[in-house]
Amino acid sequence: MTTLFSPVETPFRKIVTPIPVPESLPILERMRRYEPLSMTGLPAVIWDRAEGIQVYDAYGNMWLDWTAGVLVANAGHAHPVIVNAIIEQANHGLLFNFIYPSDIRIRLAEQLVELAPPPLKKAFLLTTGAEATENAIKISRTWGQKVGGRKKHVIITFEGAFHGRTLGAQMAGGIPSLKSWIGTETPGFIQVPFPDRFICSDLSFRVFEESLKSQGVEADDVCAVMIESYHGRLVSFAPEEYIHDLRQWCTQYNALLVFDEVQASFGRTGKWFAFQHYSVEADLVCCGKGITSSLPLSVVLGRADLMDLFEPGSMSSTHTGNPICVAACLANIDVLKRENLITHAADMEPILFTVLNQIADEHADIIGMVDGRGLVAGLRMVKPGTKQPDPDIAQKIVHSAVARGLLILDPAYPATIKIHPPLCITTEAIKDGAIALSEAISIAFQAS
Ligand code: PLP
């Protein structure tokens, strides 16, 4: 998608070329030739470097980043403490020790368990978010068989949910178009409506129970309910009462409650873990992305009895607890604490939502809802005056914003514009970004 070029210069944004940059076209053509088509689609910003809340290309353009990569750079891009920790660990002598014990890995497991609320007592380090959710699925089914036999294998997830792109994670996901490649039905994975106040306006827990009944699911056959702590594609939190009822239901039917925090934890919502907003206990929690603000690392945190279900030697992954990723994670935790970034995310919430609500008031017929918490927000784009998602306008807005120097990810399915800057963003940068977003909406609306 090409957008009209007009130069931009503010303290946080500088655009001096059309996007895509004409000089960069050969790189984009090589990308198209050597990488899968599926990797294209995002605005063609060729990142050269990133620092704090800014992203730079090699052609003189600078963006204000409202993506944190893809909810990764919570501490800010290239934080010097994290960079130095990575360099020091590499200088120590590049070490690949598989799952032989290492002091640094065990130190991290200990710190993660200390951060996590009870009864989460053990940590299994992995590499990607999907690996963590797959592992939670495996633990849930194994535990179900142990306590209820083979019948107790059903995993409940939510419509529109995303848990990763590997087979088990996609079976658990709630976006039908992402699952069509599987080619068969996915027995044992059942989706129920997410109480988001917009598509699903009945917020009572009855909807959950009725949905199971209408799909012929026996409660006793359920081994786990896996829920994103906030619905990632809608940026929606379930009502606290609903989650309390869900916790009670899981306890009553001996089903595990699993929170997928891959994008929600490490301060994003103003708490270390987003499920802490609900004041309930979790049986398993999956984290990734913002856990290092940089390198690939994920973790499953869980009750000791669940994490100890498998025999010695039967839970491993080649890069589990790679020392360099672990060093990045320890440094990230240190930065989040020392710079009070989690409190800062909570403090920025009213500022972010004030400007977003103003924008929503100005464009009331195409912004159906503003939702979120801390430093994650979603604008639901709708066809004028309806609740019907409008992916086209959402896409145009994202591309126009990028041309105005504001980096936003492609809209989340079906048409949510997601906002999730690094947690070190300032009031001035939020206000500057809001100006760009408002301009982008007006440009996109006129062009549609
Ligand atoms: N779970 C959630 C809620 C996610 O948002 C994602 C990624 O976007 C994943 C799981 C998968 O993580 P990864 O891409 O690291 O495999």
Q: Which of 133, 166, 294, 295 to mutate to test the pocket of ligand 1 (most atoms within 8 A of CB)?
A: 133
Does the Cβ of 168 fall within 6 Å of ligand 1? no
Burial of 347 (0-12, 13-18, 19+ CB in 10 A): middle
Residues 6+ away with beta carbon under 8 Å from 226: 133, 136, 137, 140, 155, 156, 157, 161, 163, 172, 258, 259, 260
**Ligand 1 midpoint to CA 274 (Å):** 15
Residue 150 belongs to some domain of the structure: yes
Please give the pLDDT value at position 185. 86
Residues 111 and 39 in one domain: no
Residue range 339-373, pLDDT digits in tens: 999 999 999 999 999 999 999 999 999 999 999 99
Q: What is the mean pLDDT of residues 249-262?
A: 98
Residues 357 and 234 in one domain: no
Output the six-digit token pair for 185.
């039905």
Residues 297 and 149 in one domain: yes
Pairing verdict, β 284-287 and 298-302: antiparallel
Residues 117 and 215 in one domain: yes
Q: What is the mean pLDDT of residues 43-50?
A: 95
In which element (H, E) is residue 190 found?
strand 189-192
**Dist. CA 166–CA 172, nearest whole Å:** 10
Residues 6+ away with beta carbon under 8 Å from 379: 356, 359, 360, 367, 369, 370, 416, 417, 419
Q: Is the peptide bond before 422 cis (omega within 30 degrees of 0)?
A: no
**Dist. CA 394–CA 1, nearest whole Å:** 13
Residue range 69-126, pLDDT digits in tens: 999 999 999 999 999 999 999 999 988 888 889 999 999 999 999 999 999 999 999 9
Residue 415 belongs to some domain of the structure: yes
**Ligand 1 midpoint to CA 189 (Å):** 18
Q: Which residue shows structure tokens 């957008």?
A: 3
Residues 211 and 262 in one domain: yes
How far lies 176's CA from each of 13, 153, 158, 161, 340, in Å?
A: 38, 21, 12, 10, 40
**Dist. CA 183–CA 219, nearest whole Å:** 27
**Dist. CA 51–CA 76, nearest whole Å:** 7
Residue 318, domain extent: 80-338
Output the six-digit token pair for 56.
């730079």
**Ligand 1 midpoint to CA 70 (Å):** 10
Give the residue, 12 or 39, on which the prediction is more confident. 12
Does the Cβ of 233 fall within 6 Å of ligand 1? no
Task: Among 311, 338, 365, identify where a domain stops.
Answer: 338
Number of structural domains found in the chain: 2
Residues 6+ away with beta carbon under 8 Å from 8: 14, 15, 404, 405, 436
> Residue 68: pLDDT band by 50, 70, 90 thresholds?
very high
Residues 288 and 346 in one domain: no
Does the Cβ of 136 fall within 6 Å of ligand 1? no
Residues 168 and 270 in one domain: yes
**Ligand 1 midpoint to CA 411 (Å):** 16
- Phi-psi bin for 354: left (phi > 0), alpha (psi -120 to 50), beta? alpha
Output the six-digit token pair for 394.
């959402």
For the CA of 128, the closest atom of ligand 1 is: 15
**Dist. CA 163–CA 118, nearest whole Å:** 24
Q: Which of 70, 260, 261, 263 to mutate to test the pocket of ligand 1 (most atoms within 8 A of CB)?
A: 263
**Ligand 1 midpoint to CA 262 (Å):** 6
**Ligand 1 midpoint to CA 446 (Å):** 34
Does the Cβ of 228 fall within 6 Å of ligand 1? yes
Residue 141 belongs to some domain of the structure: yes
Residue 372 belongs to some domain of the structure: yes
Please give the pLDDT value at position 98. 86
**DSSP H helical ranges for 225-340:** 240-252, 304-307, 323-338
Does the Cβ of 130 fall within 6 Å of ligand 1? yes
For the CA of 228, the closest atom of ligand 1 is: 3
Output the six-digit token pair for 238.
């379930």
Q: What is the mean pLDDT of residues 58-64?
A: 98
Asked whether the whole model's pTM tops 0.95, one would answer yes
**Dist. CA 186–CA 207, nearest whole Å:** 22
**Ligand 1 midpoint to CA 402 (Å):** 24
**Ligand 1 midpoint to CA 71 (Å):** 10
Average pLDDT over the chain, rounded to an integer? 96
Residue range 259-274, pLDDT digits in tens: 999 999 999 999 999 9
Please give the pLDDT value at position 3. 61
Terminal CA-to-CA distance of the chain, rounded, Å?
A: 13
Does the Cβ of 284 fall within 6 Å of ligand 1? no
**What CATH number corresponds to the domain at position 54?**
3.90.1150.10
Please give the pLDDT value at position 42. 87
Residue 216 belongs to some domain of the structure: yes
Task: Among 317, 338, 359, identify where a domain stops.
Answer: 338
**Dist. CA 161–CA 190, nearest whole Å:** 12
Burial of 125 (0-12, 13-18, 19+ CB in 10 A): buried
Residue range 386-425, pLDDT digits in tens: 999 999 999 999 999 999 999 999 998 889 999 999 999 9
Residues 106 and 24 in one domain: no
Q: What type of residue is 82?
A: I
Residue 306 belongs to some domain of the structure: yes
Q: Is the pLDDT of residue 23 over 80?
A: yes
Residue 3 belongs to some domain of the structure: no
**Dist. CA 282–CA 259, nearest whole Å:** 7
Q: Which of 42, 126, 128, 162 to mutate to test the pocket of ligand 1 (most atoms within 8 A of CB)?
A: 162
Residue 442: HSE in the Cβ half-sphere, 13 Å Cα cutoff: 9
**Dist. CA 201–CA 192, nearest whole Å:** 14
For the CA of 133, the closest atom of ligand 1 is: 10
From the CA atom positions of the chain, what is the Rg in Å?
22
In which element (H, E) is residue 226 found?
strand 222-228
For the CA of 161, the closest atom of ligand 1 is: 3
In which element (H, E) is residue 358 found?
helix 341-362
Residue 1 belongs to some domain of the structure: no
**What CATH number corresponds to the domain at position 313?**
3.40.640.10
Task: Among 274, 305, 338, identify where a domain stops.
Answer: 338
Residues 264 and 317 in one domain: yes
Residues 345 and 334 in one domain: no
Q: Is the pLDDT of residue 224 over 80?
A: yes
Report phi then psi at 109, rounded to 5.
Answer: -55, -45
Residues 28 and 106 in one domain: no
Residues 110 and 181 in one domain: yes
Q: Which residue shows structure tokens 């306006």?
A: 201
